[in-house]
Amino acid sequence: MPPRTPDPRRNPSRGGRPADDGSAPARSGRGGIFEAQAYTPRGRSVREQARSRTSGQAAETTEPAPPTLRVVDGGRADEPRTPRQPAARSGAAGGRTGTAAGAAKKAAAPARSRAPRAQTGAATKAGGAATKAGGAAPKARSTATNARGTADNRSTAAKGRATAPRPPLRRKPRAQLKLADSNRRLRLGAFLALAMFAGIGIRLITLQVMPTPAYANGGLQDRLRSVTLFASRGGIYDRSGVPLTHSVEARYVYADPTLIENPAEAAAKLSPLLGVARSDLEKRMAKRKLPTGVQSTFAWLARGVPIDKANQVMALNIKGIGTEYDERREIPGADLAANLIGITGEDLTGLEGLEARYDDVLRGTNGKHLFEFGNDAAYTPIPNGYSEIQEAKPGSSLTLTIDRDLQYEFQRSLSENVQARKGTVGAAIAIDIKTGEVLAQASQPTFNAADWEDYPAVDREDAATSFVVDPGSVHKAIIFGAGLEEGVINKNTVWPVPSTIDKADTTYRDTHPAGGKKMTMAGALAYSSNVTTIKIADKLGPQKVYDYQLKFGLGKPTGEGMPGEASGRVLPPAEWNGTSPGSIPIGHSVDVTPLQMAAVYAAIANDGKWIQPHLIKDTVAPDGSRVAPPAPETRQVISPQHAADLRYLMEAVTTIPDATGVNGRIKGYRVAGKTGTGLRVVDGKYAAGEVASFIGMAPAEAPRYVVAVFAFTPSGGGGDVAGPAFREMMQYTLQHYRVPPSTKSAPKYTAFP
């Protein structure tokens, strides 16, 4: 086969005329089938065969092989052209042939072959070999014929030119561009298609299976409903863990005004069950807009509704009326310690008493349930819909120092004794002298905390901390204690005591006048001698009297734990007037509360050490852990010995046959105490009537408890009014705590030696 010439389409030149420099004629640039020539089976065109026959054997040996037909995709001339070598380089071959072809080659030297130099040389050599062989082999003859045809064509193109041969142009071969691999394209296309389908599949799974907030949240706000998860309010328990008040499960009833068709009819049906006025329910169910301009879909109708009542409400099947979980405050004892515990509002917020004082401890923190609901009146949550829950945190509970049994007995006895003497206000306190714990704190009047709305506000007050009085003669224990501590008197002191004493324009008298006789200090307390007390205060001086009042805790709240505790008031010496040296020592012009005076006597019973009275034993967290409150404040007011001497003197009050406190005697126990008759202070003025009081401790030889009783009655001394109530309360206290009876008899006292 003759060697193939380069693809004619690879020539980048354009146009169909011969080049001016003698090179091969430029193609039309159309390429492909338009440049193809018809070839015979032996590789030559018909025209070339005819020319070969007329030219003779010489022309046949000088023509180069014609290009073969190549048709490729696109018909572009993208193969680089290789400069054709001048025909003169094949002169040796022409010389060897000895024919006219050699001269033709020299004349056509400037003509350039389309074939590469190596191919042209091969064709020339093939032509020479064919001449020598005389047409030996067909293959060699075919090669020579092709070479001659090529040389002939170049010679013809160069005829008529009288120019000298020009050196061939040497061009740098261009890099051949490779055609795309179809298999590679198929693989790349398949990969891209698979990647596209995989992406679509993953996205579909994400939208259908995985959470898609970006789309699911569209319009979500219109389908969300928020329900408050109410935190359970902590309870209040007595010292033994018995509940005084606690929260129980209940229901609240609400309305959706947008769904109620007939508010008047709905209100008429609900009013008897909820205990709310019909007109009030109608107002609550009326349609209204929120500040945002949106129609309100919620209105409270009732809180803390018992479960059975809530079931009856739902049985009415009123569209737009619903119930949800709620709590209500349960008070098992009704009025038991009600004045201490206080009350809560409709939303279980503390309003009075300990409920208000420790509201932040008891209340806890409400939670919230935000969920997606369906298109129904019941706001049914959508299964697997949006749901967010903030758990409620229950409140802590309080354990009080109050003893439930003791509290009940104190309330019963106080109420009976005050009402029997037509009294209006009373208070009774029991204190453990070693710890300062308040074991009972009763008030008269009292109320049922479960129905507190039915009682006036004055009935809900805690008298022990809000009942401000002039203490009267129970204040004398402070003056006698200060006199012992300052050395003004001792337990055996005997003074001549006149029947009266004047201060400024006021005369002070004794109810049991000594008539100038000598009187013991025990007798002075037993008969509540005003004159003796004033004489001791004169020796102390105003400043000492004032200092000991403060040391014993007067003039400021005790900090027991009750909210709104009154501070009382004592006058500094600078504010004393002419009668103050006579009135203040005997307990007038002094404002105190029953609790403050009970703490004074507890200090005397506790060897002169004052301990802050308190109601809170500990706080119980929701997890059951207990936290004790800060330690109570303490201070030594008088020495233990002088405190014992003072108890010795006060025991005469219940021992001397006609003493003021004989009604406070308790069989089997020695009792030390003091009676008093004072005045009630209302808005800075004295109210009509008298405040009878009795404060005592038992057993006197080794006191354990102090009981204080105050009663505001139209008239009557402390011994007559408060004495019997004190006896009942103290006796029950000693027996309740199983205090052994006294083993020694009380001392023998002499009032007038």
DSSP string across 85-98: PBGGGGHHHHHHHT
Q: What is the 3-state secondary structure (H, E, C) of 406-454?
A: HHHHHHHHHHHHHHHCCCCEEEEEEEECCCCEEEEEEEECCCCHHHHHH
∠ Cα 593 594 600 (to 5°):
95
Of all residues in the chain, what percent carry a pLDDT higher than 90? 51
Does the pLDDT at position 502 exceed 70? yes
Domain match, 537 and 582 both: yes
- Of residues 9 and 171, which shows the higher confidence score? 171
Enclosing domain of residue 279: 225-399
- pLDDT tens-place string over residues 149-196: 444 444 444 444 444 566 666 666 666 656 667 788 888 888 999 999
Domain match, 41 and 68 both: yes
Q: Is residue 556 part of a domain?
A: yes
Which of 341, 371, 399 terminates a domain? The answer is 399
Mean pLDDT along residues 665-674: 95
Which of 399, 418, 441 terminates a domain? The answer is 399
> Which strand (E) or helix (H) includes residue 370?
strand 367-372
Mean pLDDT along residues 252-257: 90
Domain match, 153 and 231 both: no
| Closest residue by Cα to residue 410 from 710, 720, 742 | 710
Mean pLDDT along residues 246-264: 89
**What whole-number distance in Å separates Cα of residue 117 and Cα of residue 123?**
10
Residue 182, SS3 per DSSP? helix
| pLDDT given for residue 715 in this prediction | 84
Domain match, 198 and 269 both: no
Q: Is residue 425 part of a domain?
A: no
CA dihedral 535, 537, 541, 543 (to 10 degrees): -170
The count of domains in the chain is 4
Domain match, 230 and 206 both: no
| Closest residue by Cα to residue 343 from 250, 429, 448, 466 | 448
Q: Is residue 443 part of a domain?
A: no
Does the pLDDT at position 730 exceed 90? yes
Burial of 448: CB neighbours in 10 Å, binned 0-12, 13-18, 19+: middle
Whether 120 contacts 93, CB under 8 Å: no
Whether 593 contacts 464, CB under 8 Å: yes
Q: What is the 3-state secondary structure (H, E, C) of 716-750?
A: CCHHHHHHHHHHHHHHHHHHHCCCCCCCCCCCCCC
∠ Cα 614 617 619 (to 5°):
125
Domain match, 487 and 538 both: yes
- pLDDT tens-place string over residues 20-61: 444 444 444 444 444 444 444 444 555 555 555 555 444 444
Among 131-145, 253-267, 316-330, 354-368, the minimum mean pLDDT is found in 131-145
Does the pLDDT at position 588 exceed 70? yes
Among 327-331, 469-473, 697-701, the minimum mean pLDDT is found in 327-331
CATH of the domain at 565: 3.40.710.10
Mean pLDDT along residues 312-338: 90
| pLDDT given for residue 26 in this prediction | 44
Domain match, 623 and 675 both: yes
- Of residues 1 and 277, which shows the higher confidence score? 277
Which of 374, 399, 424 terminates a domain? The answer is 399
**What whole-number distance in Å separates Cα of residue 530 and Cα of residue 514?**
11
Average pLDDT of every residue of the chain: 80
Mean pLDDT along residues 90-101: 41
Does the pLDDT at position 329 exceed 70? yes
**What whole-number distance in Å separates Cα of residue 646 and Cα of residue 476?**
11
Domain match, 192 and 154 both: no
Whether 469 contacts 588, CB under 8 Å: no
Domain match, 288 and 379 both: yes
| Closest residue by Cα to residue 108 from 160, 163, 155, 161 | 155
Domain match, 315 and 370 both: yes
What residues have CB less than 8 Å from 278, skipping those under 6 apart?
Answer: 267, 268, 271
| Closest residue by Cα to residue 613 from 432, 369, 373 | 432
Among 80-84, 180-184, 595-599, 748-752, the minimum mean pLDDT is found in 80-84
Q: Is residue 297 part of a domain?
A: yes
Cα dihedral sign for 88, 93, 95, 100? negative
Q: Is residue 234 part of a domain?
A: yes
Residue 649, SS3 per DSSP? helix
Domain match, 115 and 202 both: no
| pLDDT given for residue 527 in this prediction | 94
Mean pLDDT along residues 306-319: 91
Q: Is residue 753 part of a domain?
A: no
| pLDDT given for residue 33 in this prediction | 47
| pLDDT given for residue 188 in this prediction | 87
| Closest residue by Cα to residue 274 from 346, 377, 378 | 346
